[in-house]
Amino acid sequence: MDHVDEGESLSEAFWGVARRLRHLNRQTMAPWEVTPAQWRAVNVLVDHGPLRLGDLAEKLHIAPRSTTEVVDDLERRTLVERHPDPADRRATLVALTPLGADTATAIRTARTAESERFFGSLSPTDRDHLGRILHNLAHD
């Protein structure tokens, strides 16, 4: 069984894997010309449905101004659209368009296949252990 090299810390090994995954994610999303920030916004809208800009910003953990820029870019590409909030006409909801929903499905499918390839060299037991360990670290 391979272990982390003596000269490499767990942290360095973790960040090396993270860099590889970021690179693969960019390659996977390239055909759709969606940036990681745009993907995060689309993904939140898939999971939560239409949201006010402020609520989207909160879920993305970014400033409302940055959220507006991301939404503007997605709207130009017709992946999202703005609608008046029926509960408060002063507020605006951001929702996926049909093209946005189709794009999200295609990207999720591609990312799932990428993940299967990336983690495919691990045994099912190792995958289970890694999943448990990462979950524990993320929710500690």
Residue written as tokens 């999971």? Answer: 47
pLDDT > 90 fraction of the chain, expressed in percent and rounded: 79
Q: Which CATH class is domain 11-138?
A: mainly alpha
Give residue 1's pLDDT: 47
b/e per residue 113-137 (b: at least 16 CB within 10 A): ebeeeeeeeeeeeeeeeeeeeeeee
Q: Which helix (H) or strand (E) holds 88?
A: strand 88-96
Give residue 68's pLDDT: 94
3-state secondary structure of 77: coil
pLDDT, tens only, 5-53:
655 788 899 999 999 999 999 999 999 999 989 999 999 999 999 999 9
Q: What is the band of 140 on the pLDDT scale with cuts at 50, 70, 90?
A: confident
| Domain assignments of the chain as residue spans, ordered by start | 11-138
Nearest to 51 by CA among 6, 99, 20, 87: 87
Give residue 8's pLDDT: 73
pTM here?
0.80
